[in-house]
């Protein structure tokens, strides 16, 4: 019963979509309605509000860290071991992807995954962050950096904590993260993905699903 409580609490923490919360607080448009439609820091940055993007990044990362930290700090008091922490890591990540409070329309999970990794072990978080930075600086694709970091994260976890439940949980998180980046992968292969710092029209455009082909309905 205690393990279920930890999992539910972690999921609810993950369901706090900071892209939406911060945007509402600062009077910005709902991040679901422009750009990629993804409620994450990168999309929020398209508004030109760097503070909002930074707060979104910090909030999404902090909630992943907090959920795992709480499990590590208190689960043992209920006789729960590493499996409970691994389950909590998956639950908070699932909450970010499918948030209860925002009609299950969540983000891609890069920041939340980073928070989870740092909570599990700072070496895992630091190694994954370094991987992201190297790829981002060299290739200037945020999505590619996230994908490569996701591939290496389970390896870093296994090296730091062994091939156990934590490595399995991180592997599952990495697989979900790659799946959520399916559209980015297609754009990367087609050479259409936006690079970090690429300048485009400052006007906020609707997400791909909301855009209509101007020729649609034409005779």
pLDDT in tens, 43-77: 898 898 999 999 999 999 999 999 999 999 998 88
Q: Is residue 217 part of a domain?
A: no
Q: Is residue 69 part of a domain?
A: yes
Q: Domain total for the chain?
A: 1
Among residues 48, 61, 63, 52, the alpha carbon closest in space to that of 20 is found at 52
Q: Is residue 198 part of a domain?
A: no
Q: Is residue 181 part of a domain?
A: yes
Residue 113 structure tokens: 């995954």
Q: Quick one: angle between helices 122-139 and 142-161, nearest 10?
A: 150
pTM over 0.85: yes
Q: Is residue 40 part of a domain?
A: yes
What's the CA gap between 40 and 109, in Å, rounded? 8
What's the CA gap between 189 and 43, in Å, rounded? 21
For the cut 60, the answer to whether the pLDDT of residue 212 exceeds it is no
Q: Is residue 122 part of a domain?
A: yes
Range of the domain at 93: 2-193
Q: Which value, to the nearest 10 degrees, does the dihedral of the CA atoms of residues 134, 138, 140, 142 take?
A: -20
What is the per-residue pLDDT across 82-108, written as a single tens digit (0 to 9) for each? 899 999 999 999 999 999 999 999 999
Which residues neighbour 24 within 8 Å (Cβ) at sequence distance 6 or greater?
30
* Out of 64-68, 200-204, 214-218, least confident range: 214-218
């Amino acid at each position: 019963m205690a393990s279920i409580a930890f999992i539910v609490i972690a999921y609810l923490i993950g369901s706090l979509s900071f892209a939406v919360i911060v945007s509402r607080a600062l009077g910005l448009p709902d991040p679901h309605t422009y750009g990629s439609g993804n409620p994450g820091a990168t999309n929020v940055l398209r508004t030109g509000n760097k503070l909002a993007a930074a707060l979104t990044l910090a909030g999404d990362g902090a909630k992943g860290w907090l959920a795992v930290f709480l499990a590590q700090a208190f689960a043992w008091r209920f006789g729960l071991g590493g499996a409970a922490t691994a389950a909590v890591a998956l639950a908070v990540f699932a909450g970010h992807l499918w948030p209860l409070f925002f009609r299950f329309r969540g983000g891609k999970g890069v920041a939340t995954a980073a928070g989870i990794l740092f909570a599990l072990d700072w070496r895992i978080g630091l190694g994954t962050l370094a991987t992201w930075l190297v790829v981002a600086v060299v290739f200037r694709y945020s999505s590619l950096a996230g994908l490569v970091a996701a591939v290496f994260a389970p390896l870093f976890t296994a090296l730091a904590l062994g091939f156990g439940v934590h490595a399995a949980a991180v592997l599952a998180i990495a697989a979900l993260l790659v799946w959520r980046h399916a559209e980015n992968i297609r754009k990367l292969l087609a050479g259409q993905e936006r690079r970090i710092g690429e300048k485009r029209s400052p006007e906020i455009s609707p997400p791909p699903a909301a855009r209509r082909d101007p020729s649609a309905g034409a005779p």
